[in-house]
Copies of this chain bind each other. A is one copy, B any other.
Amino acid sequence: MAGNQKSRQASEQVRELGHAAVDWISRYIERAPSLPVLSPLDPRDVLASLPQHPPSDAEPFAAILRDLDEKILPGITHWQSPNYFAYFPANSSPPSVAGDLLSSGLGVQGMLWATSPACTELEIRMLDWLVEMLELPQHFLSSNSGGGVIQDSASSANLCAVLAGRERATNFDSNENGCDQGLTAYTSNQAHSSMEKAIKVAGIGRKNLRLIAVDENFRMKPEALAAAIREDKRAGGVPCFVGATVGTTSAMAIDPLEEIGAICGEHNIWLHVDAAMAGTAALCPELRYIHAGLDLADSYCFDCHKWMFTNFDCTCFYVRKRNELTEALTITPEYLRNAASSSGSVVDFRDWHVPLGRRFRALKLWCVIRSYGVDGLRAMVRHHVKLTQMFIEWLKSDARFEIVAPGSLNLVCFRLKGPDSATEALMQKLNASGRLFLSHTKLSGKFTLRLCVGQTYTEEEHVREAFELIQQHASELAMGAR
C-alpha cells in the first residue's frame, strides 16, 4: 500500500485554508450592504498596490486574506450587495457557493461521460428538472429527442445555436467547406450584442445579419422578419438562423415567439430563443406567458447565474434535437475514444459546446434547487417582481420621471423628463454616492436608466432607499441647475 502523505497533508490544508476562506466570505456577505456598491478606484489603483514580481517563497494564507481586504476589496464592485441594481443580477446564494466549493474539491473534468459519469448524469437530471420547473417544451427533455447542457454564458450558447443552425441549413457543408453559401441570419435590433458576436465568430459576417425592426414596446416585428427572409431568399441567400429574445437587455421586451416560430417553420430556419435573465421568471406559473410559443424553438437558453441564485457560470442551453447540435460540434480523436462513448449509450457533453474541458457545474444547481425547493425559489422570484412593481408605482407618483418601457418582470426603464444630460448626471451622482449602482441604455434614442431588482439579498427597504435617493439627487441636481 502506497504511502499517501501528500494527500493527508492536503486534507489538513484544505481544512485550514477552506475554513479561513469560509469565514472571510461569511463576514463579506454581512458587510457587503455597507460597502460602496460601485468601486470608487481609478484605473491602475489596484495594479499599483500589487507586487511587480511573483514571490519565490511560500507565503501564509493569512497574508493573502489580509491583502484581499486591503488591496482587492476596494477594487470590487459589489454584485452581492442588496443595493446592486445595475445591468443584470449575478445573484448567488450560500447553497450555490457551497456546491461550487464541492465541485472545486472534487476537481473532476466532465468532458466525457467516462471521465466522471456522475458529472454528466447529474447534469442531465438537473436540466430535466428545470424543464419541469419552468414548464419548458417536453422535447427539451433528455428522455425525448432533445436535452440540455450547462454552458458558461448565454454568449456561448447563442454561438452554439448559430453553429447548429448554420450546419443544418448547409447540410453540414459549412463545417466541411467553410461559410461561402450566402448565409443570412436574423435578430431584432434590441437583441444582445452576443448575437452579432456569434455571427461574426461563425464566419457568417455582420452584413449578413439582419437587425429586424421592433414595435413601440421593443418587440421584434414578425412581418418585418418575414419580409427580410423573403427578400434574402429572392436574392439567393440561405437564411439559417433567427435569434429571438425573451427579455431584451435594454427593455425586457419579449419577442412574439408564436409568430416568429411560424415564420421559421415555414422556411425551415433554426429558431433560437435567448431568455438569459427573464427565463427564470417561468418558475412562477403566472409569469409563464413569457414563453408562449417556445415550443416552436429549436434551441433555448437562460442563465441560472443571473436570477436563479446560482453563481456564475451556469447557462442552461436546450435543443429540440440533440443530434442536430452534436453533429455540428463533434470530433473524436483516438485519445478520446472509449467503450462507453463508442457504445452510443452515453452523453459526452464535450460535443455540446466549444470547450473540451468542463467543470462539475451541476453540483451547485443541485444544491440550490434542493436547498430552497421549487416553492422557495418561486417565492424569491415573486418577491423581486413585486418589489419592481412597487418601485414603478412610486415612480409614477413623481411627475419628474417618465417610464420609458413597459415595466415587466424585474426591470424598470426610466428617465428624468427633458434632455438626456439631466438623466446622465443623475446616474453619475447616484453611482458616485456608493449607496446604489444602476446602469443605463438608450431606448428610442433617449438616455434611460435601468433598475433591475434581482440580487438575492435585496429587501423592500433597499428598493425604497434607492427610490428616495433617486428623488433626493434629482432634487439636488435641479437646485444646482437653477
Contacts and interface: CB of A to CB of B under 8 A. Distances in A.
A478 interface: no
B76 A155 contact: no
B2 A33 contact: yes
A163 interface: yes
A76 B116 contact: yes
A132 to B, nearest CB: 6
Number of copies: 2
A193 B61 contact: no
A342 interface: no
Contacts of A462: 2
Chain A interface mostly: helix
Contacts of A202: 201-203
Interface stretch (A97-105, A213-221, A400-408): A97-105
Interface stretch (A227-235, A267-275, A318-326, A352-360): A352-360
A4 B345 contact: no
A197 B329 contact: yes
B54 A311 contact: no
Interface string A9-44: 011111111111111111111101100001101011
A113 B47 CA distance: 12
Given A2-B461, A79-B107, 20 more contacts: A2-B464, A3-B461, A4-B82, A4-B457, A8-B30, A10-B93, A12-B26, A18-B94, A19-B19, A39-B114, A39-B117, A44-B345, A54-B374, A57-B376, A58-B372, A77-B114, A100-B100, A155-B357, A193-B336, A313-B355
B155 A335 contact: no
Contacts of A207: 176-178
B76 A118 contact: yes
A107 B311 contact: yes
A: interface residue count bin: 35 or more
Contacts of A329: 197
B106 A80 contact: yes
A21 B98 contact: yes
26 contacts: A2-B83, A6-B456, A6-B458, A11-B26, A14-B97, A17-B371, A18-B22, A19-B19, A21-B101, A41-B118, A46-B122, A47-B124, A53-B129, A56-B375, A58-B370, A58-B371, A58-B372, A61-B371, A64-B370, A74-B118, A75-B119, A90-B109, A92-B107, A175-B206, A176-B206, A197-B331
